[in-house]
């Protein structure tokens, strides 16, 4: 039951208000006794004036009522409904209905009424992304027409959006076919509420006809001359009575290797490993193809291509650090264990010859080396890793030399700490122009912060397509927060700080012809202490070094990059080609004519004029670029190269490869991915079952209601009635005085 009490919110003491009221009444009585005749008119005026002051005193007391209410808060129960086109299909010939029909049937059963009485219910549709929630009675407006299914993305978006809310559970109605994810490992992650996952059809095959496909290719996109890399191919399919079939690897159009692969008749997938040998600096094109099998109908998904940039083997990496610390110790070990580079490490320690000064001391067996941080010495390297320095440790000449090094194509890693990111750090030097963010100086916050790849990080050339890099990253214990990202900045890894939201940990940008990577923690070295066989620390730095090692072509004055929005699309879907032209700092961007040459699978060449348009960057920022849209009319592997003529010289981009399939993978008839669906239910503490089983389980769903106590405040003075009475009393007194000729 609600309970109410009177409250008075006046800031003046009540005694003073009472004295003021008595004084006002006394003044009224005295002035009326002295100035007005003693008759009925004076009494009316006196009464009106007295009523006004009494009501005004009531307003000054600012009275109100406070009520305490106890409300019952029901938890939320959500339905995540897949609206992608694959839901309109059925791979079970005995079902007699599509997956969409099975989902609609389950939504119309008695469990929904039972759960609606206990919980707040909403339906979230999804296909390529999470859509706006709808009520159960609005399901008739939905249709399974989405061109792709991003189940993992939509699940994470759902729980991010409802973080901190009381969830009784989530009913997942999907076939589990995620066209964005290459493997099912994502489904083994737990979620903040139990997932009730429906088996919308029996797992199985529509028939025995073979249907094999190349689902994905994973390989480092940059390699070193003389060093071998691995190419991992995910082959999937069903049918063919379990007979072996060939998987062929082509390099620049020539067959280099062939292996036999066998899948179970009921369907499945398997990874095939190829060893790639790189003998010279070049851009190598690798094609993986499954020859068409007898009676195979779906043949447009039998091959995929990938391009690998092979760099020279003389990558020199320079690591500069002030006082040695845990971060510099572990990074030095990782660099010297990397056989793809020639590392040099120097620490700035107190001089033994000149007391009160510092000198560069080489690390390890390079004891005979000397270093002065001159432009000539910097040009001998491709990457500089700058440790924890304050502004006084670097002279203006040192800073200008580093800025010039990056402008001309070198790469810079800022492995900062309390000094570099503090108030007296890099922000007070000329190096601040290299930063991909602005940040007020200050110490790091400490705690245990969970970190994860961002969307930009997963797609970044430094980290994408590397099967060795772990998907789950260990936490960090410190963060330099308060960064405002600049245009063109890409956050690769961020951390969850709780009340402070997500904060960037690794941020990259292009500056001039070079690349800059910033590390906003001084506890990254703890990744090297991760137990188990998976060591993310050396793998992370190996991939970063490969990406940041510029090739000779990247050291030119101008650099043109070409990329597409998706590596695999369907015939009829637009391929959006985007180019970015990097120009020297200080030069004015002109109306250059950028052309994109697209080579089709039939060796026809199409010339596309690219129009100048801003390209979306992280955080909503935009950077200048060029865009062309191309709608392929045939399946196969396409190759695109962008060119621009500047001062009579042709600048070419590295080739951009993308595959076109005659039918979208969303429309390829496949059985439901019951493995991923079972993993989701098990990892979240939910349940996987048929519609009948889930109907019975959800009817008996037990929920815990919360009781919340709320306080309501109701003003008794700041109302229309009270304020109108005040004005009316003054008006009545004035009118009465005029009518009776009273002064």
R_g over Cα of the chain? 36
**Residue at a domain's end among 606, 638, 666:** 666
> Does residue 310 lie within any of the structural domains?
no
> Does residue 483 lie within any of the structural domains?
yes
SS3 168: strand
Question: pLDDT value at position 616?
Answer: 61
Question: pLDDT value at position 366?
Answer: 43
- % of the chain at pLDDT higher than 90: 18
Per-residue pLDDT band for 77 (boundaries 50, 70, 90) equals very high
CATH of the domain at 168: 3.40.50.410
Per-residue pLDDT band for 251 (boundaries 50, 70, 90) equals very high
Question: pLDDT value at position 227?
Answer: 66
Whether residues 294 and 405 fall in one domain: no
Among candidates 309, 338, 343, which has minimal Cα distance to 540? 338
Q: Is the pLDDT of residue 309 over 60?
A: yes
Q: Is the pLDDT of residue 592 over 90?
A: no
Convert 707-743 to b/e letters by CB count within 10 Å (16 or more is b).
eeeeeeeeebbeeeebeebbeebeeebeeebeeeeee
- Supply 335's token pair: 């660099």
Question: pLDDT value at position 733?
Answer: 80
SS3 182: coil
> Does residue 94 lie within any of the structural domains?
yes
Per-residue pLDDT band for 308 (boundaries 50, 70, 90) equals confident
**Residue at a domain's end among 504, 524, 554:** 554
Question: pLDDT value at position 413?
Answer: 93
- Supply 686's token pair: 């939910």
Q: Is the pLDDT of residue 88 over 70?
A: yes
Residue 283 exposed, middle or buried by CB count within 10 Å (0-12, 13-18, 19+): middle
| Range with lowest mean pLDDT among 204-218, 451-465, 526-540 | 451-465
Q: What average pLDDT does the segment 553-557 reach?
A: 48
> Does residue 321 lie within any of the structural domains?
yes
**Which strand ranges, in their side-by-side order, compose the sheet holding 490-496?**
358-362, 341-350, 315-321, 383-386, 411-415, 514-519, 502-511, 490-496, 445-453, 476-479
Helices (H) and strands (E) in the chain, counts: 13, 37
d(CA 679, CA 566): 27
Q: Is the pLDDT of residue 485 over 60?
A: yes
Whether residues 80 and 119 fall in one domain: yes
Question: pLDDT value at position 554?
Answer: 43
Q: What average pLDDT does the segment 682-700 reach?
A: 92
Could you please report the per-residue DSSP string of 499-527? GG-EEEEEEEEEETTEEEEEE--S-GGGG
* Count of the separate structural domains present in the chain: 5
SS3 599: strand
Q: What average pLDDT does the segment 493-516 reach?
A: 87
Could you please report the per-residue DSSP string of 95-163? T-S-HHHHHHHHHTSTHHHHHHHHSEEEEEEESSSB---B-GGGGGG--S-BS---HHHHHHHHHHHTT
Q: What average pLDDT does the segment 435-462 reach?
A: 82
Residue 529 exposed, middle or buried by CB count within 10 Å (0-12, 13-18, 19+): exposed
Mean of pLDDT over the chain: 82
Whether residues 647 and 506 fall in one domain: no
> Does residue 283 lie within any of the structural domains?
yes
Helices 720-740 and 40-61: crossing angle in degrees, nearest 10, is: 160
Tell which wins on pLDDT, 35 or 438: 438
Per-residue pLDDT band for 315 (boundaries 50, 70, 90) equals low
Backbone angles phi, psi at 63, to 5 degrees: -75, 160
Question: pLDDT value at position 585?
Answer: 61
Q: Is the pLDDT of residue 333 over 70?
A: yes
Give the other-Cβ count within 10 Å of 644's Cβ: 19
- Supply 139's token pair: 């399901």
List, as own/partner pairs, every contact residues 496-504 make where C-beta atoms lie below 8 angstroms and the sequence separation is at least 24, other chains included. 496/449, 496/450, 496/451, 496/452, 497/445, 497/447, 497/449, 500/445, 503/449, 503/479, 504/437
Model confidence pLDDT, tens digit, residues 557-576: 677 878 776 667 777 777 88
d(CA 63, CA 716): 5
Q: Which residues contact 213 (CB under 8 A, 6 or more apart)?
A: 235, 236, 237, 290, 298, 301, 302, 668
Whether residues 561 and 549 fall in one domain: no
- % of the chain at pLDDT higher than 70: 89
Q: What average pLDDT does the segment 253-281 reach?
A: 85
Domain region containing 247: 211-302
- Using alpha carbons, list the distances in angstroms from residue 434 to 510, 522, 542: 9, 20, 23
Among candidates 475, 482, 395, 380, which has minimal Cα distance to 435? 482
Tell which wins on pLDDT, 314 or 166: 166
Q: Which residues contact 714 (CB under 8 A, 6 or more apart)?
A: 64, 65, 66, 67
DSSP 552: G
pTM: 0.47
Tell which wins on pLDDT, 107 or 38: 107
Place of tokens 């007070």: 428
For residues 14, 19, 21 and 22, what is the CA-based torsion angle, rounded to 10 degrees?
A: 140
Backbone angles phi, psi at 201, to 5 degrees: -160, 165
Model confidence pLDDT, tens digit, residues 142-171: 999 887 888 988 898 898 888 888 899 999
Of the CA atoms within 13 Å of residue 188, those in its CB half-sphere come to: 5
Whether residues 240 and 379 fall in one domain: no
Q: Which residues contact 210 (CB under 8 A, 6 or more apart)?
A: 237, 238, 239, 240, 245, 293, 294, 295, 296
Tell which wins on pLDDT, 73 or 195: 195
Question: pLDDT value at position 650?
Answer: 83
Q: What average pLDDT does the segment 707-731 reach?
A: 81
Model confidence pLDDT, tens digit, residues 21-30: 788 788 877 7
CATH of the domain at 502: 3.40.50.880
CATH of the domain at 291: 2.60.40.10
Per-residue pLDDT band for 740 (boundaries 50, 70, 90) equals confident
Whether residues 451 and 342 fall in one domain: yes
Whether residues 462 and 380 fall in one domain: yes
Whether residues 364 and 481 fall in one domain: yes
CATH of the domain at 658: 2.60.40.3880
Whether residues 594 and 494 fall in one domain: no
Q: Is the pLDDT of residue 421 over 70?
A: yes
d(CA 458, CA 186): 13
**Residue at a domain's end among 666, 684, 719:** 666
> Does residue 518 lie within any of the structural domains?
yes
Q: Is the pLDDT of residue 556 over 60?
A: no
Q: Is the pLDDT of residue 364 over 60?
A: no
Q: Is the pLDDT of residue 472 over 60?
A: yes
Whether residues 55 and 11 fall in one domain: yes
Q: Is the pLDDT of residue 727 over 70?
A: yes
Q: Is the pLDDT of residue 595 over 90?
A: yes
Whether residues 28 and 170 fall in one domain: no
Whether residues 442 and 532 fall in one domain: yes
Backbone angles phi, psi at 269, to 5 degrees: -145, 160
> Does residue 307 lie within any of the structural domains?
no
> Does residue 308 lie within any of the structural domains?
no
Place of tokens 């101008």: 558
Could you please report the per-residue DSSP string of 392-440? GGS-HHHHHHHHHHHHTT-EEEEE--TTTTSTTSGGGSGGGGG-SEE--
Question: pLDDT value at position 367?
Answer: 41
Torsion sign over Cα 667, 668, 670, 673 = negative
Question: pLDDT value at position 104?
Answer: 93
| Range with lowest mean pLDDT among 216-220, 421-425, 643-647 | 216-220
Question: Are residues 377 and 316 in contact, defined by beta-carbon separation less than 8 angstroms?
Answer: no
């Amino acid at each position: 039951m609600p309970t109410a009490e009177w409250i008075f919110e006046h800031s003046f003491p009540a005694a003073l208000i009472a004295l003021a009221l008595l004084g006002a009444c006394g003044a009224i009585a005295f002035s009326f006794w002295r100035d007005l005749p003693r008759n009925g008119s004076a009494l009316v005026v006196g009464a009106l004036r007295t009523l006004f002051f009494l009501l005004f005193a009531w307003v000054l007391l600012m009275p109100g009522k406070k009520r305490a209410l106890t409300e019952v808060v029901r938890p939320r129960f959500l339905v995540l409904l897949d609206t992608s086109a694959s839901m309109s299909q059925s791979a079970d010939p005995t079902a007699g209905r599509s997956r969409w029909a099975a989902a609609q049937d389950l939504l119309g059963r008695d469990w929904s009424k039972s759960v609606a009485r206990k919980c707040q219910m909403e339906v979230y549709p999804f296909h390529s992304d999470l859509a706006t929630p709808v009520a159960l009675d609005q399901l008739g407006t939905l249709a399974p027409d989405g061109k792709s299914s991003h189940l993992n993305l939509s699940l994470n978006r759902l729980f991010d959006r409802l973080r901190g809310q009381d969830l009784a559970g989530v009913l997942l109605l999907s076939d589990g076919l995620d066209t964005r994810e290459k493997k099912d490992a994502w489904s083994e992650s737990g979620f903040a509420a139990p997932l009730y996952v429906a088996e919308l059809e029996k797992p199985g095959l529509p028939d025995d006809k073979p249907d094999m496909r190349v689902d994905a290719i994973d390989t480092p996109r940059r390699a070193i001359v003389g060093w071998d890399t691995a190419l991992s191919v995910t082959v999937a399919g069903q049918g063919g009575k379990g007979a072996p079939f060939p998987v062929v690897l082509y390099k620049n159009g020539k067959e280099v290797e062939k292996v036999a692969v066998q899948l179970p008749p009921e369907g499945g997938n398997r990874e095939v490993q190829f060893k790639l040998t790189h003998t010279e600096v070049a851009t190598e094109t690798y094609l993986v193809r499954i020859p068409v099998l007898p009676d195979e109908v779906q043949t447009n998904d039998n091959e995929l291509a990938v391009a690998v940039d092979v760099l020279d083997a003389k990558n020199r990496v320079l690591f500069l650090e002030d006082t040695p610390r845990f971060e510099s110790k572990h990074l030095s070990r990782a660099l010297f264990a990397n056989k793809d580079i020639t590392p040099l490490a120097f620490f700035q320690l107190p001089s033994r010859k000149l007391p009160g000064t510092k000198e560069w001391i080489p690390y390890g067996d390079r004891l005979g080396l000397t270093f002065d941080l001159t432009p000539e010495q910097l040009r001998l390297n491709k990457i500089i890793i700058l440790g924890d320095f304050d502004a006084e440790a670097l002279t203006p000449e040192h800073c200008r030399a580093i800025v010039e090094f990056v402008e001309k194509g070198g790469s810079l890693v800022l492995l900062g700490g309390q000094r570099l990111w503090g108030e007296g750090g890099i922000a007070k030097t000329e190096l601040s122009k290299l930063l991909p963010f602005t940040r007020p100086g200050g110490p790091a916050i400490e705690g245990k912060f969970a970190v994860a790849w961002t969307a930009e990080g997963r797609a970044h050339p430094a980290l994408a397509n590397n099967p060795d890099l772990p998907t789950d990253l260990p936490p960090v214990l410190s963060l330099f927060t308060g960064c405002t990202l600049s245009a063109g900045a890409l956050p690769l890894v961020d951390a969850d700080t709780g009340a402070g939201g997500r904060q960037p940990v690794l941020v990259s940008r292009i500056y001039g012809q070079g690349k800059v990577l910033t590390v906003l923690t001084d506890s990254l070295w703890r990744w090297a202490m991760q137990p188990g066989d998976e060591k993310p620390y050396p793998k992370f730095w190996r991939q970063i070094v490969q990406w940041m090692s510029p090739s000779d072509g990247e050291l030119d004055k101008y650099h043109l990059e070409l990329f597409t929005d998706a590596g695999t699309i369907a015939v009829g879907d637009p391929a959006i080609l985007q180019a970015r032209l990097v120009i020297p700092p200080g030069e004015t961007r002109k109306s250059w004519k950028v052309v994109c040459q697209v080579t089709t699978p039939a060796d026809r060449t199409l010339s596309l004029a690219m129009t100048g348009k801003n390209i979306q960057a992280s955080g909503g920022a935009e950077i200048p670029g060029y865009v062309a849209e191309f709608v392929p009319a045939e399946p196969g592997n396409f190759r695109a190269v962008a060119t621009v003529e500047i001062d009579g010289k042709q600048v070419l981009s590295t080739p951009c490869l993308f595959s076109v399939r005659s039918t979208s993978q969303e429309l390829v008839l496949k059985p439901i991915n019951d493995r991923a669906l079972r993993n989701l239910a098990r990892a979240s503490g939910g349940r996987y079952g048929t519609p009948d089983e889930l109907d019975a389980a959800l009817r008996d769903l037990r929920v815990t209601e919360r009781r919340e106590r709320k306080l309501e405040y109701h003003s008794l003075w700041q109302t229309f009635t009270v304020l109108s009475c005040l004005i009316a009393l003054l008006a009545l007194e004035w009118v009465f005085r005029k009518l009776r000729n009273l002064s």
